[in-house]
Amino acid sequence: MIPIPDNTVVTGAGGWLGTGLVSAFTDDGPHRRSGCIRALVRDQDDADRLSILSDNIEPVLGDLTLRSDLERLFEGLSGTTDVIHAAGVIHPTTFDELDAVNHLGTVALLDVAAEAGIRRMVHVSSNSPFGTNASRADTFRNDEPYHPYFGYGQSKMLAELRVIEAADRGLNVVMVRPPWFYGPHQPARQTQFFTMVRTGRFPVLGDGGQRRSMVYIGNLVQGVVRAELTPTDPGLGWWIADERPYRVNEIVETVGAVMREEGFDVKPNRVRLPNIVGSLAERVDGLLQSSGRYNQQFHVLGEMNKTIAVDISAAKRDLGYEPDVALAEGMRRSVQWCLEQGIEL
């Protein structure tokens, strides 16, 4: 492992992963940092929320799509600087946001980071550039061709291609590819997931045997940090996930059991839908996106009958990545965090 840098720049610091990273860098755990943490955020509320974590945090209000804001992000930094690029749009307000933020915003950041002479950059990608598995038995490893899943997958694929080009030009940049993640600092959509499980209304498609890789936020932070601090060739990318994929039935049953342990009245899941519902939702999603529109409900439902399973062997081999939290414990910590925040489930 190389030394922790003097400065750490985190984009998307107000988001789920960004908050998890900044929290890990400022608590008393193994990832604590004493240097400057320059955090790009979109609004003052996020700046205020992060500022109270540590005097080391320097929030910068800005927009990833504005080069002038990115230049301010690096102003006045001396010594070594690493960048963790966690900013991105998953469920856009307008369809154009996907390319503007995920693709072109990444291009702008790569350019400014190169000019600033950064030591290392970690780009947080996704499973979406590679689509879904061909069958339930299939598992993505580290040699799949790109097969992007609709607009989000396309934007993240283009970002990856620009990262690889930047590495070829000499920038020390690598990638991590997390699937569906879970844990503290979760957004409203994950809270809704808990509520749907508690009320027995989470839609399970088919027999629920399709597999989904997931990653606990603490495991993901570990993977990001190892990608940052482990010497490797630039331009590489790794799957960062829990030790194994989970069946959809297993996910729903585990979350229900955890919520019962925490005192919730959890109803048996009663929403079982045929596989064709997911296929029809996927078709509607495709038609909407082809006309420049986006509907989160159709998009999520269209993925629910798919297997998205990944193999983390390369990350374990190259980075020494070892996910130490699995589904039940991770979901327990997530539910407990919600209760501590007064979030109604």
Hey, how many other C-beta atoms are within 10 angstroms of the C-beta on 296?
12
Instruction: Give the per-residue SS3 of 17-67.
Output: HHHHHHHHHHCCCCCCCCCEEEEEECCHHHHHHHHCCCCCEEEEECCCCCH
Averaged pLDDT, 149-168: 98
What is the model's pLDDT at position 201? 95
Residue 157 has pLDDT above 90, yes or no: yes
Q: Is 169 exposed, middle or buried (0-12, 13-18, 19+ CB in 10 A)?
A: exposed
List the CATH number of the domain containing 53: 3.40.50.720
What is the model's pLDDT at position 189? 86
d(CA 319, CA 310): 16
Full domain range(s) for residue 21: 7-186+213-242+308-323
Averaged pLDDT, 56-73: 97
Task: Tell me whether residue 343 is in a domain.
Answer: no
Q: How many domains is the chain built from?
A: 1
| Closest CA relative to residue 228, chosen from 124, 324, 310, 158 | 124
- Given a contact cutoff of 8 angstroms between Cβ atoms, the answer to whether 294 and 288 are in contact is yes
Residues 6+ apart with CB under 8 A from 310: 127, 139, 140, 141, 177, 179, 213, 239, 241, 245
Hey, how many other C-beta atoms are within 10 angstroms of the C-beta on 117?
10
Give the tens place of pLDDT for each residue, 111-153.
999 999 999 999 999 999 999 999 999 999 988 999 999 999 9
d(CA 338, CA 345): 8
Residue 188 has pLDDT above 90, yes or no: no
d(CA 117, CA 122): 14
Counting residues of the chain whose pLDDT is more than 90, the rounded percentage is 97
Average pLDDT, the chain: 96
Task: Tell me whether residue 299 is in a domain.
Answer: no
pTM of the model: 0.96
Q: What confidence category does residue 309 fall into, taking pLDDT thresholds of 50, 70 and 90?
A: very high
Give the tens place of pLDDT for each residue, 310-342.
999 999 999 999 999 999 999 999 999 999 999
Task: Tell me whether residue 50 is in a domain.
Answer: yes
Task: Tell me whether residue 143 is in a domain.
Answer: yes
What is the model's pLDDT at position 330? 98
Task: Tell me whether residue 262 is in a domain.
Answer: no
Dihedral angle, C-alpha 269, 271, 276, 279, nearest 10 °: -80
What is the model's pLDDT at position 143? 87
Averaged pLDDT, 209-225: 98
Residue 234 has pLDDT above 90, yes or no: yes
Give the tens place of pLDDT for each residue, 252-300.
999 999 999 999 999 999 899 999 999 999 999 999 999 999 999 999 9
Find residue 237's DSSP bridge partners: 175
Task: Tell me whether residue 290 is in a domain.
Answer: no
Task: Tell me whether residue 150 is in a domain.
Answer: yes
Task: Tell me whether residue 101 is in a domain.
Answer: yes
d(CA 107, CA 233): 20
Give ∠ CA 182-178-249 in degrees, rounded to 5. 50
In order of 14, 28, 55, 325, the CA distances from 59 in angstroms are 10, 21, 11, 30
